[in-house]
Amino acid sequence: MNSILEVHNVVKQYGDYTALNSVSLSVPKGSIYGLLGPNGAGKTSLIRIINQITMPDGGEVILDGEKLAPKHVQYIGYMPEERGLYKTMKVGEQCMYLAQLKGISEADAKKQLKYWFEKFEIESWWNKKIQELSKGMAQKVQFIVTVLHQPKLLILDEPFSGFDPVNANLIKDEIIELNKKGTSVIFSTHRMESVEEMCDHIALIHKSNKLIEGKLIDVKKEHRTNAYEVGILSSNVERLMYDLTQKFQLQQTDFKSLNDELKIEVQLNGSAPNELLHILTQNGQVTHFVEKIPSINDIFIKTVTNK
């Protein structure tokens, strides 16, 4: 089995409103999968179905080769967007309780808890109540609770909202480490640029429909525009511009640079990059030459407006 999770034609309706319109997905084992889309696209509805919080009105979900069943809650670690903990319950007891609810034994829960508490150096918090902790401290506990039962699949809904930068980085590192050990991760977010660097697969959801799905790199390749950002220090700008406009379409652009150079975006129109480079080197000193890679946000907007 190559997929940890497969979603087949899942439909979810709330009254007259269709939250998911026959959505299918496939999350490869060991991947970091970005479930992207604006607010209200249906991400949380889908995640709740995967977590068996709500039932789909149609379609099916396959987890690790088996049809989704109550026993699978143990395999999933879920950090919802709306999250919190019992304020008046002690940290240790709370973690034990939540881990046991997931179905692991008291002894295993204790062992895992010890591991994580030592890792985050928070052993002294065991008998503290959540309300005595700072928000940042509570966030660490929140993360531990999510991964305590060693899930095969980690589902994080808007994971970095509400985390301060230090904790966000810490959590990010932990997630990457868990991923390296074999845990598959699903990120759900509307801030598409924020997880671009971590995800290797993405799916774009918009208005209850899946628009795009695939390896991040393939998606980007498919939507590449063959445009290059060029920075050049030229003594003969007129000549340069003349040469360029003969072959390519030009556009003004801007990027950060330490030089006072000419900044242009060049559309290759099927030519090879070397042809552009050749013209450039003849006319001045090239300081910047980069293919313009479309951001997920650009791809999303383009896809939505084209439809």
Partner 1 sequence: MSVLPLIIKREFISKVRNKSFIVMTFLGPLLIVAMTALIAYLSKANEGEVKKIAIYDEAGIFKNDFKNSQEIVYVDLSSMPFKTAKDTASNSYEGMIYVPKVADIQELATKTEYISDDSPRMEFLMEIEAVINAKLSKNNLQELGFDSDKIEKAKVKSDVRVSKFSGEEGLKYLNEIKIGIGFLFGYLIMMFIIIYGNMVMRSVIEEKTNRIIEIIISSVKPFQLMMGKIIGTSLAGILQFIVWILLGLGLMFVLTLFGASQADLSTTTAQMQPEQMEMATGLLGKIQLYLNEIPTITLFLFFILYFIGGYFLYSSLYAAIGAAVDSETDSQQFLLPIIMPLMLGVYVGFFTVMNDPHGTVATIFSMIPLTSPIVMLMRIPFGVPWWQIALSIAILFGSFLGIVWFASKIYRVGILMYGKKPTWKELFKWLKY
Q: Which residues of this chain interact with partner 1, rule CB under 8 A?
A: 14-15, 48, 51-54, 70, 73, 76, 78-80, 82-89, 97-98, 100-103, 145-146
Considering all CA atoms of the chain, what is the largest pairwise distance in Å, rounded to the nearest integer? 77
**In contact, 210 and 23? CB cutoff 8 Å:** yes
CB of 247 to partner 1, least distance (A): 57
- Closer CB to partner 1, 82 or 121, in the complex: 82
- The 3-state DSSP class for residue 76 equals strand
Beta strands 201-206 and 209-215 are antiparallel
- Closer CB to partner 1, 2 or 127, in the complex: 127
CB of 13 to partner 1, least distance (A): 9
Kind and range of the H or E element at 4? strand 3-14
CB of 144 to partner 1, least distance (A): 12
CB of 120 to partner 1, least distance (A): 19
- Closer CB to partner 1, 83 or 210, in the complex: 83
**DSSP string covering 21-47, please?**
EEEEEEEETT-EEEEE--TTSSHHHHH
CB of 73 to partner 1, least distance (A): 5
Instruction: Name 274's Cβ contacts closer than 8 Å, sequence gap at least 6.
Output: none
Neighbours of 1 (CB within 10 A): 9
CA 298 to chain centre: 16
CB of 139 to partner 1, least distance (A): 12
- Closer CB to partner 1, 155 or 212, in the complex: 155
- Closer CB to partner 1, 126 or 289, in the complex: 126
- Closer CB to partner 1, 28 or 80, in the complex: 80
Closest to 149 measured CA to CA, from 123, 207, 110 = 110
